Structure 1
Amino acid sequence: MKLFNLSFVSMSKKQFKAVKIVIIFTAFVLSYNAQANNQSNDQSSTSTIAADNPWQLQHSEDNIKLYHRALNSSEYLQTKAEVLVNFSATKLLEQFPINGECWQWQSRCKKSKKVKDLSGSDRLVYTVINMPWPVSDRDFVFHSSINFDEDSKTTTLILKPYKEQYPETKYVRGEANIRYEIRELTETTSHLTIIMHTDFKGSISASAINSKLISELNGNIKRLLRLLNE
């Protein structure tokens, strides 16, 4: 960028000194503004990272710990489960079939199906869940993916909203982001982490739903552990 158009050859020493001061001052201002912009961007980035509230322990018994936290972007709480399972990761994974059907341990799953394969291990899954009366049942359209990390010996299953258009139904269409992590600890023990957030949409009391999230999650985990013991 050209800041000045001057002939330094024809300048007196006094003029040259004055111009030199102006150039140094201008460079300082530009440098200061650049640093200020970088600090502003860093603060903005930090603010975004720190936007989520800390997890709050809501239930603890035996090998189960359940948490929730508020999200600034939603009136519905996000929940998390940390479960130490006294079975191998392989046996635990049997309770998470990827054929699209309802998992036996999920009490509110009314019906579920794989619509189509997407790419690799990714699938399009359609699910309907029962809601307590008098609330209308909800349906969800998921982009499902699964991967295995050899280093951590962890299988991760992710369900997120399908971004492309999907036909409307008689149900209220909700959106959910769910993450399941199954980590092998030993040949006979594993660790399960569940992190989930659901936006139920429609006309419904968020506070009423939030008050039931932990008990519903606890009930599902208890059913899962019972199935493993059968």
Structure 2
Amino acid sequence: MQKFILLFLIGACSLPALAQPKWKLIADEEQIRIYSSAVPESKIKAIKVDCVVDASLSQMVALLLDVEAGTHWVYKTKSCTLLKRVSPTDLYYHSEISLPWPLDNRDFVAHLVTRQDPVTKAVTIDGPVVAGMVPVKKNVVRVSDSKGRWVLTPAAGKVRIEYMLHTDPGGYLPAWAVNAFAAEGPMETFKSMKQHLKLPKYRNASLTFIAN
């Protein structure tokens, strides 16, 4: 098994289960550092990505909330569809992730909510997976257990990104295999993300609900 461990949820769910973990560095490339940590009562390890990008908060938030563009930069994303936009900072989307044969693809529905601290200007993006909205498809496993969070902190004209994720992909995927390839999906995603941020529609982004 190879290249099937990915960022199941780009900007997904809150993170109570990952309080005070002991992180171990497992990959460091192009100033993208990836850590893993054991999670109580789970065979699947949590992942943390830490990097700094040459971008504004508005650029980063514009990219992350442009969910349908996820097929261009989120590792192994087959489709990503906006289902409902409640407000500029509140939306629902559906995504399907491609896995190699004979494994079944995975999909999920997430509710993204963006908040900014008025004092520190740090932006947090959470998005719990939710049931319903999209019928379960034959031969596609619905992900129902995942916890993740983006924290974007302004730093001297740049943005420090801290992304944490713990997800159970469901179906048949051995925990040892998931953990063995845990760094690959996040690393490829963040490399692509850095390139995608250079597109004019993100580079020139200005959001009324984000103070840079």
- How would you bin the TM-score normalised by the shorter chain? 0.7 to 0.9
**Matched length:** 181
Q: Does 1:183 align with 2:153?
A: yes
Amino acid of the structure 1 residue aligned with 2:170: K
Structure 1: runs of 5+ lacking an equivalent: 1-47
Structure 2 counterpart of 1:208: 177
Conservation of the 8 A alpha-carbon contact between 1:51 and 1:72: no
Larger relative contact order (CA 8 Å, sep ≥ 6): 2
Q: CA distance change for structure 1 residues 51 and 93 in 2, over 3 Å: closer, same or farther?
A: closer
Structure 2 counterpart of 1:223: 192
Q: CA distance change for structure 1 residues 84 and 121 in 2, over 3 Å: closer, same or farther?
A: closer
Structure 2 counterpart of 1:113: 81
Conservation of the 8 A alpha-carbon contact between 1:102 and 1:111: no
SS at 1:75's partner residue?
Answer: coil
Structure 2 length-normalised TM: 0.74
Instruction: Output the CA distance in 2 between the equivalents of 1:90 and 1:152.
Output: 15
Conservation of the 8 A alpha-carbon contact between 2:82 and 2:93: yes
Conservation of the 8 A alpha-carbon contact between 1:52 and 1:72: no
Amino acid of the structure 2 residue aligned with 1:101: E
Q: For 1:41-190, list aligned pairs within 5 A.
A: 53-98=21-66, 100-103=67-70, 104-117=72-85, 121-163=89-131, 167-170=135-138, 171-175=140-144, 176-187=146-157, 189-190=158-159
Instruction: Output the CA distance in 2 between the equivalents of 1:52 and 1:190.
Output: 23
Instruction: Output the CA distance in 1 between the equivalents of 2:166 and 2:52.
Output: 22
Structure 2 counterpart of 1:5: none
Conservation of the 8 A alpha-carbon contact between 1:177 and 1:196: yes
Q: CA distance change for structure 1 residues 166 and 88 in 2, over 3 Å: closer, same or farther?
A: closer
Instruction: Output the CA distance in 1 between the equivalents of 2:62 and 2:88.
Output: 20
Identity across the alignment (%): 24
SS at 2:33's partner residue?
Answer: strand
Structure 2: runs of 5+ lacking an equivalent: 1-15, 200-212
Instruction: Output the CA distance in 1 between the equivalents of 2:135 and 2:192.
Output: 33
Structure 1 length-normalised TM: 0.69
Instruction: Output the CA distance in 2 between the equivalents of 1:214 and 1:56.
Output: 12
Structure 1 counterpart of 2:168: 199
Structure number with higher helix proportion: 1
Conservation of the 8 A alpha-carbon contact between 1:56 and 1:67: yes
Conservation of the 8 A alpha-carbon contact between 2:149 and 2:163: yes
Deviation string 1:157-178 (CA, Å, 9 cap, x unpaired) is 1121215675322211113222
Deviation string 1:174-210 (CA, Å, 9 cap, x unpaired) is 13222111111133x1111111111111122121122
